[in-house]
Amino acid sequence: MTCRDALEILADYLNGNLPWKHRLSLNLHLSLCRHCRDYLANYKKAVQSSRDAFNDEALCEDLPEDLVQAILSLRKQLHQVE
Amino acid sequence: MDHIVVEDESSLVSSLRAGDAVAFERLVRDYGGRMLAVSKRLLSNHEDALEAVQDAFLSAFRSLHTFDGRSRFSTWLHRIVVNAALLKLRSRKRRPEQSIDDLLPKFLADGHQAAPAARWRNPGPENLEKNELQEIVRSKIETLPDSYRIVLVLRDIEELDTNTVAQMLEITPENVKVRLHRARQALRTLLDPVFGKPSK
């Protein structure tokens, strides 16, 4: 297995969706290739960082009052039509 | 899903189905903020994000009768706001997307990495506060071409499964997997200067 092959299957590797033969080959490659081990560590950290980036209560704001009123008004109109 | 939590869902759904205006207002006030957060993760334009939330609430009102209770009401609401945001995204004037190729790993003819990955700092850059780092990561995600960014947001952040994302985007599950992997690789490259150890 080359680095090209290894980096192509990282997502399936992390998901646990890799057939055992490929997993074995990738584990062997990772044990021998520091560059791919570093790449895998960075890849995992990039995924975690993207999750962390949006995991912030400060990003959750109330709806503006004028939008709330607009939604309630539109709902009232729809309710009357139906 | 974790992002919108509706307490006592069954009584709320019953009240909404009965046409209870107070229940609908409670829904909008209590969960509008969470729905806006979802919308903003998909739409960078604030006005678009607000409009998508409005569309989502009206869509939810119109299609209440289709909620069959097999999933949680909060999951159902989440799907509705995601779909409303995707619809808004599609309605925008499309710009040609930039290629993502420059952000993907390069290889030599023998298959080895041409430019091996830098070792990243753990836990992260010491000179940045948590919120500063979050802001940087969000800005990097924002630079990804939409067809990759959306898959990354839907799979890794909204935590929708591959088949659901494929249905929403009208692409194959295999295509979702490929785009997700490419998006993560591109994000890894974009974060290299942030997390990479400074060269001595």
- pLDDT averaged over 10-residue windows placed end to end, chain A, 82 residues: 95 93 96 95 95 81 92 87 69
The helix-helix angle for B46-62 and B21-42 (nearest 10°) equals: 140
Residue B137 with chain A: CB contacts under 8 Å: 49-50, 52-53
- CATH class (in words) of the domain with range B9-91: mainly alpha
Domain boundaries in chain B? Answer: 9-91, 101-195
Amino acid identity at B189: T
> Which of A7, A58, A61 shows the shortest C-beta gap to B36?
A61
DSSP-derived 3-state class of residue B110 = coil
Give me the CATH code for the B101-195 domain, please.
Answer: 1.10.10.10
Judge residue B196's burial from the number of C-beta atoms within 10 Å of its C-beta, 0-12 exposed, 13-18 middle, 19 or more buried: middle
pLDDT in tens, B131-160: 899 999 999 999 999 999 999 999 999 999
Could you give the CA distance from residue B162 to residue B167 in angstroms, rounded to a whole number? 9
* A71 to chain B: closest CA residue: B54
The H-or-E segment that residue B34 falls in is helix B21-42
Cβ separation A42–B180 shorter than 8 A: no
Q: What global pTM score does this model have?
A: 0.90
- The candidate with the shortest Cα–Cα distance to B57, out of B86, B88, B36, is B36
